[in-house]
Amino acid sequence: MLVSLDDAREFLRMDGREDDGVIASLLAAAEALCLDVLRLWVAEVPETALPVLRTGILYATAYLYEHREEADHARLLLTLRALLAGERKEEF
């Protein structure tokens, strides 16, 4: 994992641990989504891309957590594409 559960909990400003399972699941989904946008495997991520990738993962995790009932996945994807565009691989 590129972002730890504790980092995600801090980003979400969570004190209790009752939602840790949900957050961990969303964190894994957010990481996979961001890597898909970048068109990279985790082993291929350059060191220079890590800060923006971690930001994207935290953003996506927070979005998915806050909008569990009515998430607009197309909007989330557009935001991630804009955020990660500078690091996106040209082709698969």
Residue in the block written with tokens 């009515």: 70
Query: Residue 63: what pLDDT?
Result: 98
Tokens 């909990």 correspond to what residue?
9
CA dist., res. 89 & res. 92, Å (int):
7
The average pLDDT across 71-86 equals: 95
In single-letter form, the type of residue at position 63 comes to Y
The amino acid at 40: L
Kindly report, residue by residue over 10-67, the tens digit of the pLDDT.
999 999 999 999 999 999 999 999 999 999 999 999 999 999 999 999 999 999 999 9
Burial class (CB in 10 A: 0-12, 13-18, 19+), 3: buried
Q: Is residue 34 part of a domain?
A: yes
pLDDT confidence band for 92 (50 / 70 / 90): low
Residue 32 lies in a domain: yes
For residue 42, the enclosing domain spans 5-87
In a domain, 92, yes or no: no
The pTM for the full model equals: 0.93
- Does a structural domain hold residue 39? yes
Whether 61 is covered by a domain: the verdict is yes
How many Å separate Cα 55 from the centre of its chain? Answer: 7
